[in-house]
């Protein structure tokens, strides 16, 4: 369980995350939605201790992220960020192998190698495993970074807009993969998403943020409502039920 | 799959550079030797030991500085290390006089210089670099400006210095591999050994640090602490090389760039030793060329920068064509 208590982060007098409190239960897939600048990515960075908070507390399984040793947290929680710029020239396999660092400190065991192989195969990059990252397309690179997170094999996995740069096929495959992590491996998956329909179709819970605050939270059924979406995004939209899934038409 | 076949193995590259380094050391010790071997070996051995220490210090400090800054064109000297060394020397000659400065035990001087440079770098880096808002560009700008300040201060002091004392000072400020400071060899070796011991403990983190701050933290590296320790070690290494031979700016960048270019992997397990071997080849090999080919008629830095610059440009052109 991830408990977020009164977390605040400001730049000058501008609070980008403003006294947010919420609990992300163990298991399942939670999507964080909201307009640009709502503080979604900042919140994710704070939870994953990449960014210090100005006030409040984040507990992961009862461990305070501000005071727990980095290597302990790295075995419980992993994050994939939006912009992954790396100066080093790495092959896909090199990159994915870094996911084992919290366990092996650079000396790979047979078990680590197995994890690496499995993660690469899982995201479908087996053919490209010896390619350098700068020789891959944006979507392939994205999947390589997802494979690195898989390889880290933590209970909590955070993804900051993992569908960026992905075409329809790979976006769906990625979301299915994240769904499988939650269903088959009992991982707790938290995803920042921009496409409201992906959030609707694949989440167990949706958390909406606006202006640095927690706006609403609930199941897709509760959340995908014209009035709520209007309140979150300021966009008029219609919601259609297709089978069990609610789809949002915001194009008209 | 196909790319695999064409790729040279990193161990092969390391072996080749190591053999080249050994050959240049051998050439330095034996070429043109006349007279008593006992004298030659101890005379040239001192110089060689000094050059190897400098090569090691510069190669390692530059590679690690580039790793923690995530930038392949930076060297510790851009942050004003050389200027600081010059200022320290100038202030010392100014305050104590030439005779006084020469009377100070060089080992004591070395310790004071190292402490000052470590203090300066830690202050600068901690204030600007390692925090979450720390910006590399801000650090560089402040470093360049401080370097300018140090340089102006030194040249001001040099201008009001007695001409005789100025000559003594100038002698101290020129990088020279002919007059390796033998008094300092022992203490430098101890400093380098201590640094190497700590580096050895931190070794697994280097590759992770090259992924950038966020990824490193995500993988459980205490980024702030590790980077601060590394900066202190880099400051010690830079002090060692400047104290032994004086400021050498271009050399580190050259060696590090060559090492990144020719090493087929980004793993520090290979890049670091290859860079050290390349540094030895360049320094010792360059000194051989200087002594045997030009009969000391030029400066080693000219030889290194001319040949090294050509090799570097060649590699860049070839790399872009690949």
Q: What span, in angstroms and rounded, lies between the C-alpha atoms of B112 and B110?
A: 5
Tokens of residue B247, six digits = 């400021």
Query: Of B210, B213, B219, which is closest to A101 when you measure between CB atoms?
Result: B219
pLDDT score at B195: 94
Residues of B in contact with A98 (CB under 8 A): 207-208, 211, 215, 219
pLDDT score at B6: 47
pLDDT score at B197: 95
Q: Are residues A101 and A203 in the same domain?
A: no
- pLDDT of B141 > 70? The answer is yes
Tell me which residues of chain A, numbers 53 to 112, contact chain B at a CB-CB cutoff of 8 Å: 69-75, 78-79, 81, 84-90, 94, 98-99, 101-102, 105-107
Backbone angles phi, psi at B176, to 5 degrees: -140, 130
Confidence band, pLDDT 50/70/90 cuts, at residue B1 = very low
Confidence band, pLDDT 50/70/90 cuts, at residue B261 = confident
CB-CB contact of A30 with A204 (8 Å): yes
State which of A109, A127, A153 marks the end of a domain.
A153
Tokens 């060689």 belong to B48
> What is the pTM (predicted TM-score) of this model?
0.86
Tell me which residue range forms the domain holding B106.
47-249
Q: Mention every residue, 6+ apart, whose C-beta is less than 8 A from residue A198.
A: A31, A163, A171, A175
Q: Are residues A141 and A165 in the same domain?
A: no
Q: What is the mean pLDDT of chain B?
A: 81
CB contact under 8 A, B4 and A74: no
Q: Distance, in angstroms, between A167 CA and closest chain B CA?
A: 25
**Number of domains, chain B:** 1
Confidence band, pLDDT 50/70/90 cuts, at residue B128 = low
Tell me which residue range forms the domain holding A38.
2-76+154-249
pLDDT score at B74: 79
Q: Are residues A71 and A173 in the same domain?
A: yes
pLDDT score at B194: 94
CB-CB contact of B248 with B301 (8 Å): yes
State which of A128, A153, A178 marks the end of a domain.
A153
The closest alpha carbon to A83, from A164, A190, A195, belongs to A164
Instruction: Reduce the DSSP state of residue B82 to 3 states and report it.
Output: helix
Q: Are residues A171 and A210 in the same domain?
A: yes
The closest alpha carbon to B20, from B55, B61, B62, belongs to B55
CB contact under 8 A, B215 and A84: yes
**Number of domains, chain A:** 2
CB-CB contact of B234 with B61 (8 Å): yes
Q: Are residues A174 and A62 in the same domain?
A: yes
Complex confidence, ipTM: 0.86
Confidence band, pLDDT 50/70/90 cuts, at residue B165 = confident
Q: Which of A101, A125, A141 to mutate to test the interface with B (most CBs of B within 10 A)?
A: A101
Question: Which CATH number is B176's domain given?
Answer: 1.10.3470.10
pLDDT score at B321: 46
pLDDT score at A208: 92
Q: What is the mean pLDDT of residues B297-314?
A: 74
CA dihedral A56, A58, A62, A63 (to 10 degrees): -110
Question: Which CATH number is A167's domain given?
Answer: 3.40.50.300
Tokens 């080919």 belong to B293
Q: Are residues A244 and A172 in the same domain?
A: yes
Backbone angles phi, psi at A24, to 5 degrees: -100, 110
Tokens 């100025």 belong to B166
The answer, for A242 touching chain B at a CB cutoff of 8 Å, is no
Query: Of B70, B217, B267, which is closest to A87 when you measure between CB atoms?
Result: B70
- pLDDT of B4 > 50? The answer is no
Instruction: Reduce the DSSP state of residue A24 to 3 states and report it.
Output: strand
Percent of chain A with pLDDT over 70: 100
Q: Strand pairing partners for B152? A: none
Per-residue pLDDT for chain A (252 aa), expressed as one digit of tens each?
899 999 999 888 888 898 999 999 898 999 999 999 888 999 999 999 888 888 889 999 989 988 888 889 999 999 998 777 777 788 999 999 999 999 988 788 898 999 999 999 988 888 998 998 888 888 888 889 989 999 999 999 999 988 887 888 888 988 998 999 899 888 999 999 988 999 999 999 999 999 889 988 899 888 888 888 888 888 888 888 888 888 888 887
Q: Strand pairing partners for A10? A: A15
pLDDT score at A71: 87
Instruction: Reduce the DSSP state of residue B309 to 3 states and report it.
Output: helix
Q: Mention every residue, 6+ apart, whose C-beta is less than 8 A from residue B186.
A: none
State which of A133, A153, A173 marks the end of a domain.
A153
Q: Are residues A242 and A158 in the same domain?
A: yes
Confidence band, pLDDT 50/70/90 cuts, at residue B103 = confident
Report DSSP state, residue A65: T
CB-CB contact of B274 with B262 (8 Å): yes
Q: For the ranges A133-147, A151-165, B45-59, B133-147, which has the lowest average pLDDT? A: B133-147
Instruction: Reduce the DSSP state of residue A160 to 3 states and report it.
Output: strand
pLDDT score at B2: 39
Q: What span, in angstroms and rounded, lies between the C-alpha atoms of A64 and A31?
A: 23
């Amino acid at each position: 369980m991830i408990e977020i208590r009164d977390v605040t982060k400001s730049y000058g007098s501008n609070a980008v995350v403003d006294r947010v409190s919420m609990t992300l239960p163990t298991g399942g897939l939670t999507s964080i939605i909201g307009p640009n600048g709502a503080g979604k990515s900042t919140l994710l960075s704070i939870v994953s201790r990449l960014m210090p908070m100005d006030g409040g507390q984040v507990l992961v399984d009862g461990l305070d992220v501000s005071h727990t040793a980095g290597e302990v947290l790295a075995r419980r929680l992993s994050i994939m960020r939006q912009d992954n710029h790396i100066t080093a020239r790495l092959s896909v396999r090199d990159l994915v192998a870094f996911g084992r660092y919290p366990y092996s400190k650079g000396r790979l065991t047979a078990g680590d190698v197995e994890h690496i192989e499995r993660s690469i195969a899982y995201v479908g990059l087996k053919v490209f495993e010896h390619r350098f990252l700068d020789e891959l397309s944006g979507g392939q690179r994205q999947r390589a970074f997802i494979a690195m997170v898989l390889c880290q094999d933590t209970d909590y996995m955070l993804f900051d807009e993992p569908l960026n740069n992905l075409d329809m096929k790979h976006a769906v495959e990625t979301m299915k993969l994240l769904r499988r992590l939650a269903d088959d491996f009992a991982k707790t998956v938290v995803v920042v998403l921009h496409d409201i329909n992906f959030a609707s179709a694949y989440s167990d819970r949706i958390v909406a943020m606006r202006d640095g605050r927690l706006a609403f939270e609930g199941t897709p059924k509760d959340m995908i409502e014209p009035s709520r979406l209007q309140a979150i995004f300021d966009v008029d939209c219609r919601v259609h039920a297709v089978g069990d899934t609610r789809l949002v038409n915001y194009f008209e | 799959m196909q790319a695999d076949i064409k790729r040279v193995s990193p161990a092969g590259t390391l072996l080749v550079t190591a053999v080249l380094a050994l050959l240049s050391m051998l050439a330095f010790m034996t070429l043109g030797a006349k007279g008593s071997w006992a004298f030659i070996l101890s005379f040239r051995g001192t110089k060689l030991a000094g050059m190897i220490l400098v090569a090691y210090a510069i190669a390692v400090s530059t590679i690690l500085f580039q790793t923690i800054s995530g930038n392949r064109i930076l060297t510790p000297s851009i942050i004003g290390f050389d200027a600081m060394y010059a200022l320290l020397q100038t202030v010392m000659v100014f305050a104590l006089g030439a005779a006084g400065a020469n009377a100070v035990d060089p080992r004591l001087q070395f310790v004071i210089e190292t402490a000052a440079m470590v203090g300066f770098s830690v202050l600068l880096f901690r204030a600007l670099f390692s925090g979450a808002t720390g910006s590399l560009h801000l650090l560089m700008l402040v470093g360049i400006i401080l370097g300018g300040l140090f340089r102006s201060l030194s040249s001001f002091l040099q201008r009001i210095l007695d001409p005789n004392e100025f000559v003594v000072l100038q002698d101290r400020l020129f990088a020279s591999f002919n007059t390796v400071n033998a008094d300092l060899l022992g203490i430098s070796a101890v400093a380098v050994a201590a640094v190497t011991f700590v580096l050895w403990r931190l070794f697994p983190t280097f590759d992770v640090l090259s992924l950038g701050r966020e990824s490193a933290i995500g993988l459980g590296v205490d980024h702030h602490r590790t980077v601060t320790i590394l900066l202190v070690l880099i400051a010690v290494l830079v002090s060692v090389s400047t104290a032994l031979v004086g400021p050498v700016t271009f050399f580190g960048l050259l060696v590090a760039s060559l090492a990144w270019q020719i090493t087929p992997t980004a793993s520090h397990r290979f890049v670091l030793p290859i860079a050290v071997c390349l540094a030895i080849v360049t320094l010792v090999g360059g000194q051989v060329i200087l002594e045997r080919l030009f009969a000391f008629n030029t400066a080693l830095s000219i030889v290194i920068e001319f040949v090294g610059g050509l090799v570097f440009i060649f590699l860049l052109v070839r790399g872009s064509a690949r």
